[in-house]
Structure 1
Amino acid sequence: MAQTAPSPPQLTLIYSMQALLGDRFSLGPVPNGQERIVIPIVGGTFKGPRLSGKVLNLGADWRLTDANGAIRPDARYNIQTDDGTNIFVQTIGLPPGKDGRTMLRGQFETATNGTYAWLNDVAAVGVLTRNGTASVTIDMWEATPPAL
């Protein structure tokens, strides 16, 4: 059986989000790192081909500065679609790249019997871009196997 070269997954945009951030505060040194900084997520909007809506004032990024000094985002927050559906979002990030952007792994949770139930089974990757200290842009993508 001949081996073929691996093919990369296909990416489809879920949404582009502008999230507004509140005043951050530090928990100080923590057992698993140098410092934990809490950055409240206080609002914003998102828009995509299959869903759009607002970012609720309910969540935060519990960013960890690890033992090596690398910053690792760890956010949990809620979004609400234009039709009123609530969706829980969790993102875990890698340390920022040289260009300042951060790769994220995304996970969604919403009602299993609703319009957006498909999000419960999405493999999501995102790119976070900082816009100063007041907001971030997150472009979130669904990764699917390549076409045969």
Structure 2
Amino acid sequence: MSTPVFDELPAPLRSVQTRPLFVMRLDVKPIVIVGDTPGPFRRVGIVPSGTFTGVRLSGKVLDGGSDWQAVRSDGSTALDVRLILQTGDGTNITMAYRGIRHGAADVIQRLEKGEEVDPASYYFRINPIFEAPAGKYEFLNRVIAVGTGHRFKHGPVYSVFEVL
């Protein structure tokens, strides 16, 4: 749907272009429940491993990552994740992202029980930021990324895209 305001903008300002960066699969241990806090209902997912595969970088996710989740009063879950990616050539890259997951209560309930649900039946998006050393992967330091996720029984899978 077009509006007069957008129609007047130069083409590069009317849409967002992306290109695939990688697909990442995370293994997550059973969620640690902290519970009700003065803020949100807090829980933490410990990430012992995972993999990522793309044209420009691929490798494994090192043990030690975590996903600090805040379950909000509206039923949505805010994610705050820190990971270390290790490329196939041994380069370590940090990846931090925030995200939001929400959907109909019955869909989220099934999802959290480990049941398969249609990825189109709920919203699951992330915004990664990277820190890489000088060299082959330093381009990541200047990238804004977005991702779409799907939760499987043992952890999420994300399609991560570089915003051009």
TM-score tier after normalising by the smaller chain length? 0.7 to 0.9
Instruction: Choose from 140, 143, 149 the match for 1:122.
Output: 143
Higher normalized strand content (fraction of residues): 1
- Identical amino acids, percent of aligned pairs: 32
Amino acid at match of 2:72: D
Unaligned runs of 5+ in 2: 1-6, 105-120
24-33 or 92-101, which deviates more: 92-101
1:87 aligns with 2:93: yes
Is the Cα–Cα contact under 8 Å of residues 100 and 130 in structure 1 kept in the other structure? no
Amino acid at match of 2:156: V
Report the number of matched residues. Answer: 140
TM-score, structure 1 normalization = 0.87
Distance of 1:102 and 1:68 partners within structure 2: 15
Unaligned runs of 5+ in 1: none
Aligned equivalent of 2:14: 7
Change in 2 beyond 3 A, CA 1:101/1:130: farther
Secondary structure of 1:32's aligned partner: coil
Amino acid at match of 2:102: P
**CA RMSD, Structure 1 to Structure 2 (Å):** 1.7
Is the Cα–Cα contact under 8 Å of residues 82 and 95 in structure 2 kept in the other structure? yes
TM-score, structure 2 normalization = 0.79
Is the Cα–Cα contact under 8 Å of residues 76 and 103 in structure 2 kept in the other structure? no
Aligned equivalent of 2:3: none
Higher normalized helix content (fraction of residues): 2
